[in-house]
Amino acid sequence: MDVVIETFPARRLATVRHTGPYPGIADAFHRLGALAAQSGLYDHVAPALMTPPGTVHLDSPEPLPEIPAAGITLSGDDAAVGFGYTVSGGRVPAILISPMIASATTIRPPADTPFDHATIVKTVWDAFGLSNDWTSLTERDENAPTLFSSEYLSATVNNDPGAFSGTIVANPMVLVFDNLATQVLQASAGPKITLSVTYDTSLPWLTVSTAAGDTGTNLLLVTVTVDKSQLSSTQNTTITITASNGTSLPVPVWGYA
């Protein structure tokens, strides 16, 4: 495939032109590049004004231009001119995972300043009491809304799904032996569930052994070794992990000569 990268500094637009048997793909990439331009990175809600990390000195223009309206604009990239980190980026979803937050809670910022990446810094700062020593890293995170609030989080666990149990989880799920001779697979099915491993012991190229993981982890460590000197061609088989509750998980094993 013959690919040519074209850049247009005035528009900050990059396109890929395919000169192979698909002549229409060049136009498709032009349209894709237009969508990736600055004015196409957000939805119908334009990025909000934000507190910059510190003092921003701009040569030109002064003040910053308004963010272009949403849509495809190829006439220029005004938002990048004299950019001083005073606006946020496009909106993206975030998921807060904690046993201290009620299930299906939707969190919105308490004021006009939206949550953004600086919220993570602000939340850690508040949760660990770092403000007792320093005010903040920058003015940006000092003014960012925090997730460490009694409005969203409780002092006690209110969303405890309990430890997973009964489903076998293994890593890796497939063992491929190309350059490696030995690999260690970790498996668990949760508390009070024991695991065992079976495999075809008649295969001269395959050796499997098991051992318990660290105390309290409930892990089974499965060491698998492939003797490539016993392989005249590509071979495959399956190791079966079986739990004491009757469930099982097959793990494919591939050995390349």
Three-state SS string over 232-253 comes to CCCEEEEEEEEECCCCEEEEEE
Give the model confidence (pLDDT) of 97-132 as tens digits: 777 887 778 888 888 888 888 899 888 888 888 866
Mention every residue, 6+ apart, whose C-beta is less than 8 A from residue 255.
177, 205, 206, 226, 228, 231, 234, 235, 236
For residue 209 the two structure tokens come to 């052994």
Least confident segment among 48-52, 171-175, 189-193: 48-52
Residue 217 has pLDDT above 70, yes or no: yes
Of the pLDDT bands very low, low, confident and very high (cuts 50, 70, 90), residue 243 is very high
Determine the length of the chain: 257
What is the spatial distance between Cα 225 and Cα 180, in angstroms, rounded to a whole number? 9
Q: How confident is the model at residue 57 (pLDDT cuts 50, 70, 90)?
A: very low
Confidence (pLDDT) at 1: 38
Please tell me the least confidently modeled range out of 1-5, 51-55, 227-231: 1-5
Average pLDDT, integer, range 170-185: 89
Give pLDDT, residue 218.
Answer: 82
pLDDT at 76: 57
158's CB contacts (< 8 A; 6+ apart) are 99, 100, 101, 102
Give the bridge partners for 17, in sequence order.
4
Instruction: Quote the CA–CA distance of 104 and 106 in Å, as a whole number.
Output: 6
Radius of gyration of the chain (CA): 28
Q: What is the pTM of this model?
A: 0.43
Q: 41-70 burial, b for 16+ CB within 10 Å, e for fewer?
A: ebeeebbeebbbbeeeeeeeeeebeebbee
Residue 42, pLDDT above cutoff 80: no
Q: How many CB atoms lie within 10 A of CB 252?
A: 12
Which structural domains are found in the chain, ordered by start? 3-80 (no CATH), 169-255 (2.60.40.10)
Does 194 score more than 80 pLDDT? yes
